[in-house]
């Protein structure tokens, strides 16, 4: 498909056209011309859009293989494309767990032919059981971009040390989910007055912060590359900021729902708000929003985790943790930061995980997200793109809109 972007505002610090409004012509997946004015010919014309390098989500789950009823890879990539993402990192929340090169190859093969590119995250430990390191080098050679056990803390500190040491020769990135299970106990929500009032067992912030402090101490000792996903407390961010000041190679992300909701939304016992880490009180949420602008948080993720109704339509104590969020990432994030910072937060994962960048320039392959920060809309059940429907955002106002993506010689447009 040939596409002409008319009066497109470029948001790309790596481009010579950053913050300029240009006409951009894309022929057969390549940016062939950028100019003040390009006369339309046979191309599809899209007017008055913002354009950036394609966004990257560092934490999504699609279920396949093993849990296709939640989300297949094909449908998950379609959802990602319509949500503005051209690169998604897929967690090993599968059956069997992706803990070897064959599992990585399966995901990459199933993901061929889409505008969005899938980047498998290999399990850090065999079967994600937290006992023995998985085949990390083989998985990286097969295309894995990082290693982590999704939502499972590594309770054996020596395993974290070994993983950081083992991955250094091939510059692998270790992902350590910040939780201390013994302190979490049987908690299901944030340990705060909101949960106490509802009679729900609390998860102390200490459960996250203690693990963050431990992993940073191990990183200082062992070296290596560490990523701490979905932090949710001010102290976690402060600990990571201090570690960076020491020169430690660490990054962190925040999930979009932790930026938008406080634990006050639990009043209705809606299990779509049962998330791990749990939704926090207002002080922590405000601190996370402030850290976005200050640079204390490296990137934002949807932490997209589709779950079938049997796992969610239960008593709150018994329901599974997890929520979808791909569709809402832009509509929420654009409420808290300006477009330039939002794009930075949605593309920074590329550099961290070795996914090549493609600046907006004449002669480069198009890897683009089209969007606007303008306008508001109410997100409804009918707006959910995912196969699963466990969204906490239904009934919330979204700012701006994703207009589509152009990547891998394909275009998925929402207009």
CB-count exposure of residue 365 (10 Å: 0-12, 13-18, 19+): middle
Distance of CA 262 to the CA centre of its chain: 20
Instruction: Show the DSSP H helices in 19-144 as ranges.
Output: 73-82, 101-110, 136-142
- Cα dihedral 168/170/171/176 (nearest 10): -70
- With tokens 């009043």, the residue in question is 267
Distances (CA, A) of 230 to 172, 176, 237, 343: 19, 10, 11, 18
How far, in Å, CA of 205 to CA of 132, rounded? 28
Phi, psi of 70, rounded to the nearest 5 degrees: -80, -50
Please, are residues 201 and 187 in contact by the beta-carbon 8 Å criterion?
Answer: yes
The neighbouring-strand residues paired with 47 are 6
How far, in Å, CA of 13 to CA of 8, rounded? 15
Instruction: Show the DSSP H helices in 167-281 as ranges.
Output: 181-184, 193-198, 205-222, 234-245, 256-260
Question: What is the set of active-site residues?
Answer: 303
Contacts of 329 (CB under 8 A, 6+ apart): 57, 83, 84, 85, 256, 300, 301, 302, 346
Q: E strands of 204-340, at which residues?
A: 225-228, 250-255, 299-301
Distance of CA 268 to the CA centre of its chain: 27
Instruction: Show the DSSP H helices in 130-177 as ranges.
Output: 136-142, 157-166
Contacts of 111 (CB under 8 A, 6+ apart): 73, 77, 117, 118
How far, in Å, CA of 92 to CA of 99, rounded? 8
- 317-342 CB burial, b ≥16 within 10 A, e <16: eebebbbbbbbbbbbbbbbbbebebb
């Amino acid at each position: 498909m040939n596409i002409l972007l008319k009066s497109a505002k470029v948001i790309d610090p790596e481009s010579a056209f950053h913050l300029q409004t240009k006409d951009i012509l894309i022929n057969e997946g390549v940016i062939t011309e950028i100019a003040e004015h390009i006369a339309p010919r046979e191309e599809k014309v899209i007017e008055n859009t913002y354009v950036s390098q394609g966004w990257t989500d560092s934490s999504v789950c699609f279920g396949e293989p093993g849990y296709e009823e939640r989300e297949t890879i094909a449908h998950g990539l379609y959802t990602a494309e319509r949500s503005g993402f051209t690169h998604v990192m897929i967690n090993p929340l599968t059956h069997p767990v992706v803990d070897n090169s064959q599992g990585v190859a399966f995901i990459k093969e199933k993901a061929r032919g889409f505008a969005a590119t899938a980047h498998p995250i290999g399990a850090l430990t065999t079967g994600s059981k937290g006992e023995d390191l998985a085949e990390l080098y083989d998985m990286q050679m097969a295309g894995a971009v990082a290693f982590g056990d999704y939502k499972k803390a590594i309770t054996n500190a020596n395993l974290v040390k070994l993983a950081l040491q083992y991955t250094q020769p091939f510059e692998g990135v270790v992902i350590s989910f910040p939780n201390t299970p013994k302190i979490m106990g049987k908690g299901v929500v944030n340990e705060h007055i909101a949960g106490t009032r509802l009679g729900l067992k609390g998860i102390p912030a200490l459960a996250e912060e203690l693990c963050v402090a431990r992993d940073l101490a191990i990183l200082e000792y062992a070296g290596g590359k560490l990523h701490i996903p979905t932090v949710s407390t001010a102290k976690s961010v402060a600990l990571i900021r201090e570690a960076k000041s020491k020169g430690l190679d660490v990054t962190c992300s925040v999930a979009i729902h932790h930026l938008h909701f406080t634990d006050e939304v639990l009043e209705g016992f809606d299990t779509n708000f049962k998330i791990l880490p749990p939704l926090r009180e207002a002080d922590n949420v405000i601190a996370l929003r402030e850290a976005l602008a200050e640079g204390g948080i490296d990137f934002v993720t949807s932490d997209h985790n589709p779950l079938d109704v049997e796992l969610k339509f239960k008593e709150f104590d018994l329901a599974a943790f997890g929520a979808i969020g791909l569709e809402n990432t832009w509509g929420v994030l654009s409420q808290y930061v300006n477009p330039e910072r939002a794009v930075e937060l949605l593309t920074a994962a590329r550099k961290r995980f070795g996914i090549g960048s493609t600046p907006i320039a004449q002669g480069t392959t198009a890897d683009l997200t089209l969007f606007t920060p303008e306008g508001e809309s109410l997100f409804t059940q009918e707006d959910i793109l995912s196969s699963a429907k466990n969204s906490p955002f239904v009934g919330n106002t979204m700012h701006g809109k994703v207009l589509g993506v152009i990547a891998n010689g394909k275009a998925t447009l929402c207009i």
